[in-house]
Amino acid sequence: MEEHADDRVPVLIVGGSLVGLSTSLFLGRLGVGHMLVERHASTSRHPRGRGNNVRTMELFRVAGAEPLIHDASSVLADNHGILQTPTLVGDQGEWLFKEIDPGGGLARFSPTAWCVCSQNDLEPVLLDCARSLGGDLRYSTELKSFEQDPEGVTAVIEDRTTGRLSTVRADYLVAADGPRSPVREKLGIGRTGPGELFHNVSITFRSRRLADVVGGRRFIVCYLTDPEADGALLPVDNVESWVFHAPWHPDRGETLEDFTDERCIDHIRRATGAPDIDVEITGKAPWHAAERVAERYGAGRVFLAGDSAHEMSPTGAFGSNTGIQDAHNLAWKLALVLDGSAGPGLLKTYELERLPVAAATSARASARSAEHSHPGYAPAPGVLGGRQGGMLTVAMGYRYPRGAVLDADPDMPVVPDRMDLRGEPGSRAPHMWLHRPDEARRLSTLDLYERSFVLLTGAGGKAWHTAAPVVAERLSIRLSAYRIGDGGDTDLVPEAGADWAELHGTTDEGAVVVRPDGFVAWRSPGRAADPEATLTAAMEALLQRY
């Protein structure tokens, strides 16, 4: 079938929402040709999914999209925290938290920060970035069927504007096609977890007088808890555009048709405690909160990412962030397998790493919905049981006990009890500020990780540093190397008082290999009798070159 295909691409992405677009962006940054098909005519127009956590923003930073995302999110730049209150009138409410990063402690761990950017604002940025990198992104185009064989995947797609069918031949297919994923269904992959948690109707509306009621409270979301009219209020522009999430109970026979404009207007007025505000309904969209994780993350040459692989309660915005991080994990592995640097076994580590993260994170998302008394959610007994990692730990402190890592502790928890990024294999590499000897501009260690594996050594690690290019040439791989220290022959100089070796859990004569996604792959505490042989063996194992 390959010779009769209308198009030939290394990767076919199905789904053009946040995760599909992120997959396109990350593949484009690595020079991997691909096509994306999305059945809808355009990016999302509904203001949802606004929380982009620090780990996601690190990935967008390295991919060059961070400044554009900040521009797109500027209208909500001063919105922080979550307010919970019976109504917006009076002073009975309390802040569940008022600042995302009180005291600025996050700067110890990352060069970036959380960003509040609604999906309808973020997706166009990702689309533009992906297209600028050469991505073939086709909207109003639907996957109709696909078949795979040992050499690739053949898909039939339909242009929904013209009705024309065509075939695409790809080496790999990435399904970012949502929670009801037709691709997952065809693969016969089941899901585990509690299932549906609650249902809401997301109502967009305009109201100028509501801004006066809100006053100076610049929240990301406000949970309104009047039992007769509860819901969640989210500002879109802090002036006249708003979103209200109203509980929906289909189990009691409620239908979407029951949510008439009149009912929604009355509900919003009662929930806010402001019966005289102007309310003009501009849109309604149902959504379903669930906790489910796919039993497998793919089959053969087809992989699942985002909601097709996992569904999570929206509290904490864990779902979209986990999906974007799925996309990044898969993209660099596809790139290395496609260019021959890695064996196909590297792709098996995608499931080994990401499925346990999704399982742990989805449980945390459900627990957070219970903690915040999310409107419409009545958790089952025991949801809050057990120890829970904090938001930052879940967002960026998670570990890969198994996968494309060497000498990681297989029994370490996927989400530890506290943040502790000290260069252990399987953990996100530590952040520290550096500068080149001849430049004042500083960069983070995290800025070094994207297009290749990276070997870091101290001033005393010259033998490792010398071995790196020899190993790279021998194996025909990309392996960058940097010596960090204050000496005249080092590549990067740490800021005053920073100790590279201590931060990375090694010595000045040791070495750390960091993956393209910024996770520590391997670490040596000191010198080796034969650095070339040791490093060669490590890279061959990491890249599944057997």
Residue 528: how many CA atoms within 13 Å on its side-chain side?
Answer: 21
Number of H helices, E strands in the chain: 13, 25
Q: Quick: pLDDT tens for 4-46.
A: 889 999 999 999 999 999 999 999 999 999 999 999 999 988 7
Q: Which of 248, 323, 325, 334 is nearest to 293 (CA)?
A: 323
- C-alpha separations of 270 from 203, 228, 263, 264, 296 in Å: 15, 8, 11, 10, 45
Residue 99 CB neighbour total at 10 angstroms: 10
CA distances from 360 to 315, 391, 518 (A): 15, 12, 21
Calculate the alpha carbon distances from 15 to 37, 176, 181, 267, 304 in Å: 6, 5, 10, 34, 11
Secondary structure (3-state) at 321? helix
3-class secondary structure, 263: helix
Number of CB atoms found within 10 A of residue 471's CB: 23
Residues 287-324, buried b or exposed e (16+ Cβ, 10 A)? bebbbbbbebbbeebbbbbbbbbbbbbbbbbbbbbbbb
- Asked if residues 277 and 236 have their Cβ atoms less than 8 Å apart, the reply is no
Domains of the chain: 2-78+114-190+293-371 (3.50.50.60), 193-290 (3.30.9.10), 433-542 (3.40.30.120)
**Do the Cβ atoms of 279 and 269 come closer than 8 Å?**
yes
Amino acid at 499: D
How many other C-beta atoms lie within 10 A of the C-beta of residue 460?
A: 17
Cα–Cα dist 139/35, whole Å: 11
What's the CA gap between 258 and 191, in Å, rounded? 31
pLDDT of residue 504: 96
Per residue in 412-425, pLDDT tens?
A: 899 998 888 999 99
In the chain, the N- to C-terminal Cα span, in Å, equals: 30
pLDDT at 489: 85
Closest of 206, 242, 203 to residue 75, by C-alpha? 242
pLDDT of 44 reads 84
Residue among 284, 291, 400, 407 nearest 351 (CA): 400
DSSP-derived secondary structure for 373-396: T-TT--PPTTTT-S----HHHHHH
* Cα separation, 523 vs 362, whole angstroms: 30
Residue showing tokens 């242009």: 159
Which pLDDT does position 386 carry in this prediction? 41
Helix (H, G, I), strand (E, B) or coil at 57: helix
> Can you point out the beta strands (E) in 160-212?
165-175, 191-206
Which parts of the chain register pLDDT below 70?
Answer: 1-3, 369-389
- Read off φ and ψ for residue 338, nearest 5 degrees: -65, -35
**Bridge partners of 427?**
399
Q: Exposed, middle or buried: residue 164 (CB in 10 Å: 0-12, 13-18, 19+)?
A: exposed
Which pLDDT value is given to residue 438?
84
CA distance 294 to 298: 9
Let me know if 78 is exposed, middle or buried by CB neighbors in 10 A (0-12, 13-18, 19+). exposed
Strand, helix or coil for residue 502: helix
Q: Which of 417, 437, 546, 536 is nearest to 492 (CA)?
A: 437
**List of residues 6+ apart from 23 with CB closer than 8 A:** 13, 34, 36, 174, 176, 305, 327, 330, 331
